[in-house]
Amino acid sequence: MQKFTKLSGIAAPLPLVNIDTDMIIPKQFLKTIKRSGLGVNLFDEMRYDDDGNEIPDFVLNKPQYREAQIIVAGENFGCGSSREHAPWAIADFGITCVIAPSYADIFYNNCFKNGILPIALPQEQVDVLMKDAEKGSNARIEVDLEAQTVTSSDGETFSFEVDAFKKHCLINGLDDIGLTMEKAASIDSYEAAASTARPWV
């Protein structure tokens, strides 16, 4: 998993509340067990018409937001079913940070496991960043995970809270497998001792 320390990126404004996981990645794309390849279908039903053509008015289809690395959205982001494909699609598109007033718990936790930083801020601060994001590609929002701050293109800075363990995992690029591999030496030592003690196993 990629390490996350600091990010300076274009933010796509998505001023909708209750964006659920079916909106993020519709059910027909859940057959895969691969984490890659889902970015093209992120927000599929909002990005494309029935013939598969891009809908020009959707934010991620606009030229200034095609390289967005941040989403600024409304409250209760990631609600609905607990599909992990939702953060997979977000990450595969290239977005590594979501800023919203609140999140569904399962989606929130899944983000950290997939290298995405979900930041929860008060509505009035999200409103400031939403307005900033609406400026397009000339406005870059800065996120500093170590300092736990978000800074608008105008220099206005907001602090956010994050669980210390989740912060550690993101900064060091550790998913569940990476956390296990940190204990590789202890695991090897245990297996060697167990093999000696119980060679018949």
* Spatial distance between the Cα atoms of 47 and 59, rounded to a whole number of angstroms: 8
Q: Looking at residue 177, what is its pLDDT?
A: 61
Q: Looking at residue 70, what is its pLDDT?
A: 98
The percentage of the chain sitting over the pLDDT mark of 90, rounded to a whole number, equals: 77
Q: Looking at residue 49, what is its pLDDT?
A: 96
User: Is the confidence at residue 121, as pLDDT, over 70?
Assistant: yes
* Predicted model pTM: 0.88
In a domain, 1, yes or no: no
In a domain, 97, yes or no: yes
In a domain, 110, yes or no: yes
* Spatial distance between the Cα atoms of 145 and 160, rounded to a whole number of angstroms: 9
Q: Looking at residue 46, what is its pLDDT?
A: 97
CA dihedral 105, 109, 115, 117 (to 10 degrees): 50
Contacts of 82 (CB under 8 A, 6+ apart): 21, 106, 107, 110
User: Is the confidence at residue 5, as pLDDT, over 80?
Assistant: yes
The percentage of the chain sitting over the pLDDT mark of 70, rounded to a whole number, equals: 90
In a domain, 141, yes or no: yes
* Spatial distance between the Cα atoms of 34 and 36, rounded to a whole number of angstroms: 5
Domain harbouring 178, CATH code? 3.20.19.10
In a domain, 52, yes or no: yes
In a domain, 140, yes or no: yes
In a domain, 56, yes or no: yes
- C-alpha distances out from residue 192 to 73, 180, 181, 198, Å: 51, 17, 16, 10
Q: Looking at residue 196, what is its pLDDT?
A: 78
Mean pLDDT, residues 87-107: 97
**Domain that includes residue 172, residue range:** 6-197
- Which pair of tokens denotes residue 48? 């494309």
Q: Mean pLDDT lowest for which of 49-53, 151-155, 179-183, 189-193?
A: 179-183
Give how many domains the chain has, as a whole number. Answer: 1
Cα angle 62-19-113, degrees, rounded to a multiple of 5: 95
User: Is the confidence at residue 7, as pLDDT, over 80?
Assistant: yes
In a domain, 137, yes or no: yes
